[in-house]
Amino acid sequence: MRPQVVAHRGASHDNAEHTLRAYVAALDDGADGVECDVRLTADGHLVCVHDRDLRRTAGSRGVVSTMELAELDELDFASWKNPWADLDDEAPVRDDRLDRVLTLSTLLETVADYDRRVEVAIETKHPTRYGGLVERRLVEQLRRLGWDRPGAPVRVMSFSWTALQRVERLAPDLQLVQLLDRARQWPMLSQVVGPGWVVGPGIETLTEHHKLGKRIRKTGHDMHVWT
């Protein structure tokens, strides 16, 4: 079986993570799938941002969940990746729209319109002040594309098993991935993960605990390993 190439936060080695530019580059480079993290804004939009606050990726002290989409759209999410770009006289003119905050709806529409099947792995970030609203908004967006049905090119991931249970109640046919980053979490998680769920240990955890993978597979669960 040929390994899948999944673009983590887009083609984030050469482009600012979670920007539309990073995802378009990944698609054009032939990635089999893309991965994103989602958070909910104060006015109810799911945006692709990893961190709780914006210091690292937008140079702002703002917190995603306390800001509205229009406020986030005013920020620069790309310059941190290449702060000297404006000084390069020979650099091509960039479309700034590709470097703004990216909504999940825009990412999903971009992938859906592509000329081949591309898998999408979506991680919901927790804890959150909005509780289950994150999962409800996510399922609503997937349902609009018909991606809540069997065979849809999407999987929903989280370190929160209660979040995944909420998704399962809303959309029983979605593929779910229970993430874990410590081997000692598995005995407890093994009691709560659904029978059809995939288990997602980190590669470092598997490297440090060689028997963990076998213990997971013995329970009948497939694995989704993350880096």
Q: Pick the closest to residue 164 from 135, 196, 128 (CA basis).
A: 135
Taking the C-alpha atoms of residue 132 and residue 25, their distance in angstroms, rounded to an integer, is 32
- 29 plus 63 within the same structural domain: yes
Taking the C-alpha atoms of residue 205 and residue 208, their distance in angstroms, rounded to an integer, is 5
Q: How many domains, the chain?
A: 2
CA angle, 93 then 95 then 101, to 5°: 140
- 79 plus 47 within the same structural domain: yes
pLDDT in tens, the chain (227 residues): 778 899 999 999 999 999 999 999 999 999 999 999 999 999 999 999 999 999 999 999 999 999 999 999 999 999 888 756 656 666 666 778 889 999 999 999 999 999 999 999 999 998 888 889 999 999 999 999 999 999 999 999 999 999 999 999 999 999 999 999 999 999 999 999 999 999 999 999 999 999 999 999 999 999 999 98
pLDDT at 227: 85
**DSSP class of 2:** P
Residue written as token pair 């990635």: 31
Q: Are 35 and 8 in contact (CB under 8 A)?
A: yes
- 41 plus 77 within the same structural domain: yes
Q: Give the other-Cβ count within 10 Å of 29's Cβ.
A: 11
Q: Could you confirm whether 8 is annotated as catalytic?
A: yes
Residue at which a domain ends, from 125, 159, 187 = 125
Catalytic-labelled residue, pool 8, 45, 221, 224: 8
- 92 plus 171 within the same structural domain: no
In sequence order, which ranges of the chain are alpha helices (DSSP H)? 20-28, 55-58, 69-73, 104-112, 133-144, 161-170, 186-189, 203-208, 212-218
- 177 plus 209 within the same structural domain: yes
Residue at which a domain ends, from 106, 125, 144 = 125
In sequence order, which ranges of 3-128 are alpha helices (DSSP H)? 20-28, 55-58, 69-73, 104-112
Instruction: Say which CATH number the domain at 20 has.
Output: 3.20.20.190
Residue at which a domain ends, from 72, 99, 125 = 125
- 65 plus 155 within the same structural domain: no
pLDDT at 91: 60
Angle between helices 133-144 and 104-112 (to 10 degrees): 30
- 107 plus 136 within the same structural domain: no
Taking the C-alpha atoms of residue 133 and residue 121, their distance in angstroms, rounded to an integer, is 19
- 178 plus 206 within the same structural domain: yes
- List the structure tokens of 129: 């002040």
Parallel, antiparallel or unpaired: strands 46-48 and 33-40: antiparallel
Taking the C-alpha atoms of residue 33 and residue 123, their distance in angstroms, rounded to an integer, is 14
> Which residues lie across from 6 on neighbouring strands?
33
In sequence order, which ranges of 14-152 are alpha helices (DSSP H)? 20-28, 55-58, 69-73, 104-112, 133-144
First to last CA, the chain: 20
pLDDT at 3: 81
Catalytic-labelled residue, pool 13, 18, 45, 50: 50
Residue span of the structural domain in which 42 resides? 1-125
- 91 plus 156 within the same structural domain: no
Q: Could you confirm whether 209 is annotated as catalytic?
A: no
CA quadruple 82, 86, 88, 92: dihedral, nearest 10: 90
